[in-house]
Amino acid sequence: MFTMLQNRDIIVGITGGIAAYKIAELVRELTKKGASVHVVMTKNAMEFVTPLTFQTISGNPVTHDMFQLFTGGKIGHIALADIADQMVIAPATANVIGKIANGVADDFLTTMVMATTVPVLFVPSMNTKMWESSIVQGNIEKLRENGYQFMEPASGDLACGWQGKGRLPAIADIVEKMEDIFTEKDLLDERVLVTAGPTVEFIDPVRCITNRSSGKMGYAIARIARRRGAEVILITGDTALPPPRDDIRVINVLTAEQMRAAVMDEQRRCSVIIKAAAVADYRCKDETCEKIKKKSGHEEVSLTLVKNPDILEELGRMDGDRVLVGFAAETDHLIEHAFDKLKRKNLDLVVANDVSKSGIGFGSDNNEVTLIDPTGSARHVPKLSKEEIAVIILDEVKKVLKRKRRIEDDWY
């Protein structure tokens, strides 16, 4: 599994908010991703959850005593600060935000924050009115100006009975933000358009023609591209996946013609286009407005199909120095068919995969691909997670961008 948290020492600071019980899930997810998690609790946090819970999940002692010494007589808050790669404070209450913003260090957690030089992420959770308070917002702004990072609370029902912004963000979103902090922003000035998922071509109001694409590959590419600093637009067919990130613009479509319209509207402003969607080659010539009834004695039904627009081919005919990447899902003669697609559609890179293999491709969290460029060079990538594949694809995209821009500079 690809993760930026592997072998990292992470400090999880827990303060006295009702959402403290949710942090057990955060600690579990971080340890599953290979991080060594060290939990620090305030006195108020222990009113909600016991230290034993977090010690059991993390496998490390939980620290809460201001004057606790570590092995060899090392001062606790200094020793932890020295080994940390990143610190996350969750839930971050108005109280702890205010104390740190104003230089108050009266317990182990706040003292350690003052002693650390690694990134510190605050994950606020509190009553809506507290969150909206000018005092709290002023403290947050002061901390941001000093390099501390913040997540926005989620909205919904709060423990106090209110509704609004103040809930702890989803654990998956917190982990994503932590991985984002560790990721080099090497695509910072790029605008990347990614397509994902299947298209649906309707036969009647009930039935449709579609395919097995889950959208996982395209969503992984969109997420990793955003992590690496790119502005990302994701145009997606109908999938069961949640949006990859809140800061990715998602455009939902159903049919191939809808996807074409969305792509053509967005493509002119993009430096990279990655077409990972499984777009239907054909649609029904005549879509009936009423459900087709099953009739006695009719053993066969014929459908007349017409060709859908070839979005990738159309993009390949357009002028411009952007990078265009296509996918080729094949069942035989993988390299030959994929290279032919690259040449016909004027691509900079084609990602080919054998969809007849089990355990990869459609619906799977893993993939095995071959990257082919216009010279015919083919790089085989063995079975990896789709996030790892996404990293490799974007590494190749970065090389193509550099090459194209170097040629352009030489021309001038």
Evaluate whether 180 touches 119 at the Cβ level (below 8 Å). no
Tokens 């030489």, residue located: 410
Catalytic annotation present for 160:
yes
User: SS3 for 149?
Assistant: strand
Task: Tell me how far apart the alpha carbons of residues 273 and 225 are, in angstroms, rounded to a whole number.
Answer: 11
Q: DSSP string covering 173-225, please?
A: HHHHHHHHHHS--TTTT-EEEEEESB--EESSSS-EE-----SHHHHHHHHHH
Evaluate whether 264 touches 222 at the Cβ level (below 8 Å). no
Catalytic residue among 160, 270, 284, 289: 160
Q: Which of 83, 223, 245 is nearest to 151 (CA)?
A: 245
Q: How many other β-carbons are positioned within 10 Å of the β-carbon of residue 326?
A: 24
* Residue type (1 letter), 335: I
Q: Which residues, in sequence order, are bridge partners of residue 386? A: none
Task: Tell me how far apart the alpha carbons of residues 259 and 309 are, in angstroms, rounded to a whole number.
Answer: 10
Tokens 């606020």, residue located: 124
User: SS3 for 4?
Assistant: coil
The H or E element spanning position 166 is strand 163-167
Evaluate whether 200 touches 255 at the Cβ level (below 8 Å). yes
* Residue type (1 letter), 382: P
Q: What residues have CB less than 8 Å from 101, skipping those under 6 apart?
A: 139, 140, 142, 143
Q: Which of 329, 305, 325 is nearest to 212 (CA)?
A: 329
Residues assigned a catalytic role: 160
